[in-house]
């Protein structure tokens, strides 16, 4: 019988919380749980989801103790893992992150470009606060952080809390690998899961490339994927793809042009924001962005389901959906708890894994994960194109963190100017000044 874990989910009011709770329930055999506590600083938002989760848990796993709270000591005492997915400023601020740059003809996106930097400046302090609570009340616990923007948050924790028990993760490669399985099915009829593939990948968060994808027998799957991606990007016939929101359909399809720039590798979709920013801006509606799509879609759906569960007193007929990233989080928790040495893509300090790249950069690369944490695998040298792009982007991320630490207007202006998504220092300044005004309740005062 495997030892049980006590979990705190930070960002209890997140649209992803019910899916994570359900995923934990469904994985009891490999990752048994004694207790789940939700923690949020917004009691009203959290209550709505927590009351529904309580009903669902009573029906599906009454043996799990379930609580929710806004008190850090209650939340973080006696736990083994914090699973953190906070969104500082909620969707209202995401909307501004997207719409302010777009006013100036610049990409408006949750994690890429000036919007991502604005979100980073909001997220650094609260993520570190949660890490500190965890270390105060449960010093041996691990924090699995998937609060965005993961690249900036990861760099901030490297700088401000080096060596601490936090692992930064992202579901984007997991989602794309699942999608690759659908492509292989479309192209060959063969049914694979993500875990049947052996991959090599390197990059920064939301900014990377696959260099190898093969099955467990060593057969190269790259030629099938490359042919498909060169013709139609990541678009495919799976129900999962067909039900994607319009903005995601466009992102998956645009991967065709991202791929064309380097046919040696298979790209992460978010590279479109850096390599084709003009296309992205032309295809954005400055009055209705991804934040609006999510508020009208996932947020309404999840909170609507929760309301129905509470009103009906049962979760029957209102099952929450489990996202792709949920299983990845359980895999990671299992690897840490049971020393499985599973191979996973994580955001870790480079420290020589990519030889011809900044050793202090936070990179996304395969690691073996055991009870002592991640051991990064060696990547070797990367080509000039990728090294150039990554060098620019990692400096943007470092400048944002320096701006936050030093309260430096100059560094934030440099960061925005340096981003590949921004045309000039003039436009960067206009965007920055408007972002400062919009974020005055969240950012440190820049001098």
Residue 64 CA to residue 16 CA, distance in Å, equals: 19
For residue 142, CA distances in Å to 7, 373, 406 come to 10, 9, 28
Does residue 377 contact residue 353 with C-beta atoms inside 8 Å?
yes
- Does the footprint of ligand LMR cover residue 290 (CB under 6 A)? yes
Among residues 86 and 415, whose Cβ is nearest to ligand NAD?
86
Site string for ligand LMR, 106-145 (x = CB under 6 A): ----x-----------------------------------
Q: Note if 278 is an active site residue.
A: no
- Does the footprint of ligand LMR cover residue 99 (CB under 6 A)? no
Q: What is the dihedral of CA 23, 25, 28, 29, to 10 degrees?
A: -70
- Rounded to a whole number of angstroms, the minimum distance from the CB of residue 337 to ligand NAD is 20
Phi, psi of 340 (to 5 degrees): -80, -15
- Rounded to a whole number of angstroms, the minimum distance from the CB of residue 246 to ligand LMR is 12
Residue 138 CA to residue 148 CA, distance in Å, equals: 24
- Compute the residue count for the chain: 447
In the list ligand LMR, ligand NAD, none, the entry touching 256 (Cβ below 5 to 8 angstroms by class) is none
Q: Note if 288 is an active site residue.
A: no
- Which residues in 13-42 contact ligand LMR (CB under 6 A)? none
What residues contact residue 195 under an 8 Å CB cut-off, 6+ apart? Answer: none
DSSP string, 308-333: HHHHHTS-TT-PPPPPHHHHHHHHHH
In the list ligand LMR, ligand NAD, none, the entry touching 387 (Cβ below 5 to 8 angstroms by class) is none
In the list ligand LMR, ligand NAD, none, the entry touching 88 (Cβ below 5 to 8 angstroms by class) is ligand NAD
From the list 4, 35, 45, 226, which residue makes contact with ligand NAD (rule: CB under 6 A)? 45
Tell me if residue 60 falls in helix, strand or coil: helix
Which residue has 């380097």 as its token pair? 262
- Rounded to a whole number of angstroms, the minimum distance from the CB of residue 171 to ligand NAD is 3
- Rounded to a whole number of angstroms, the minimum distance from the CB of residue 205 to ligand LMR is 12
Catalytic residue among 252, 259, 270, 274: 270
The number of residues that bind ligand LMR (CB under 6 A) is 3
From the list 75, 134, 213, 294, which residue makes contact with ligand LMR (rule: CB under 6 A)? 294
- Rounded to a whole number of angstroms, the minimum distance from the CB of residue 111 to ligand NAD is 7
Nearest to 17 by CA among 41, 43, 57, 46: 46
Give the interface segment with ligand NAD, choosing from 24-32, 41-49, 194-202, 217-225 (CB under 6 A).
Answer: 41-49
Nearest to 137 by CA among 74, 77, 68: 77
- Rounded to a whole number of angstroms, the minimum distance from the CB of residue 94 to ligand NAD is 8
List of long-range contacts for 218-227, beta carbons under 8 Å, 24+ apart: 221/180, 221/184, 221/197, 222/266, 224/183, 224/184, 224/187, 224/188, 225/180, 225/183, 225/184, 225/266, 226/259, 226/263, 226/266, 227/187
Judging by DSSP bridges, how do beta strands 81-84 and 142-145 pair with one another?
Answer: parallel
Residue 391 CA to residue 204 CA, distance in Å, equals: 10
- Does the footprint of ligand NAD cover residue 146 (CB under 6 A)? yes
- Which residues in 268-327 contact ligand NAD (CB under 6 A)? 325
- Does the footprint of ligand NAD cover residue 165 (CB under 6 A)? no
Residue 111 CA to residue 416 CA, distance in Å, equals: 13
- Does the footprint of ligand NAD cover residue 85 (CB under 6 A)? yes
Among residues 110 and 250, whose Cβ is nearest to ligand LMR?
110
In the list ligand LMR, ligand NAD, none, the entry touching 14 (Cβ below 5 to 8 angstroms by class) is ligand NAD
Residues that bind ligand NAD (CB under 6 A): 10-11, 13-16, 40-42, 45-46, 85-88, 90-91, 126, 146-148, 150, 170-171, 325
Residues belonging to the active site:
171, 270
Residues that bind ligand LMR (CB under 6 A): 110, 290, 294
């Amino acid at each position: 019988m495997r030892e049980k874990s006590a979990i705190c989910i930070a960002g209890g009011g997140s649209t992803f919380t019910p899916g994570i709770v359900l995923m934990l329930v469904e994985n009891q055999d490999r990752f048994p749980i004694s207790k789940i506590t939700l923690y949020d600083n917004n009691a009203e938002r959290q209550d709505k989801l927590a009351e529904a989760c309580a009903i669902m848990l009573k029906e599906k796993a009454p043996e799990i103790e379930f609580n929710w709270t806004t008190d850090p000591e209650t939340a973080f005492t006696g736990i083994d893992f914090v699973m953190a997915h906070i969104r500082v400023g909620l969707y209202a601020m995401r909307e501004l992150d997207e719409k302010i740059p777009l006013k100036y003809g610049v990409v408006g996106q949750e994690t890429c470009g000036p919007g991502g930097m604005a979100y980073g400046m909001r997220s650094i302090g609260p993520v570190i606060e949660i890490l500190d609570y965890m270390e105060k009340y449960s010093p041996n616990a691990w924090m699995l952080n998937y609060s965005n923007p993961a690249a900036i948050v990861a760099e901030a924790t490297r700088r401000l809390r080096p060596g601490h028990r936090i692992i930064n993760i992202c579901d984007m490669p997991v989602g794309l690998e699942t999608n690759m399985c659908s492509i292989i099915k479309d192209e060959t009829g063969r049914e694979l899961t993500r875990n049947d593939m052996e991959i090599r990948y390197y990059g920064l968060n939301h900014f990377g490339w696959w260099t190898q994808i093969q099955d467990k027998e060593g057969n190269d799957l790259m030629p099938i994927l490359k042919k498909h991606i060169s013709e139609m990007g990541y678009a495919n016939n799976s129900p999962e793809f067909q039900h994607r929101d319009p903005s995601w359909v466009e992102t998956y399809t645009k991967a065709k042009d991202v791929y064309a720039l380097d046919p040696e590798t298979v790209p992460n979709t978010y590279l479109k924001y850096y390599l084709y920013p003009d296309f992205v801006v032309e295809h954005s509606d400055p009055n209705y962005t991804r934040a609006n799509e999510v508020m009208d879609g996932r947020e309404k759906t999840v909170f609507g389901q929760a309301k129905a569960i509470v009103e009906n007193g049962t979760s029957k007929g209102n099952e929450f959906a489990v996202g792709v990233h949920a299983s990845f989080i359980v895999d990671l928790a299992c690897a840490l708890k049971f020393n499985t040495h599973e191979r996973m893509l994580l955001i870790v300090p480079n420290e020589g894994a990519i030889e011809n790249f900044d050793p202090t950069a936070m990179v996304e690369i395969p690691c073996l994960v055991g009870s002592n944490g991640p051991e990064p695998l060696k990547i070797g040298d990367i080509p000039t194109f990728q090294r150039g792009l990554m060098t620019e982007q990692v400096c943007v991320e470092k400048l944002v963190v320096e701006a936050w630490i030093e309260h430096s207007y100059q560094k934030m202006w440099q960061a925005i100017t340096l981003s590949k998504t921004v045309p000039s220092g003039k436009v960067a300044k206009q965007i920055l000044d408007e972002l400062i005004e919009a974020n005055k309740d969240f950012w440190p005062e820049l001098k």
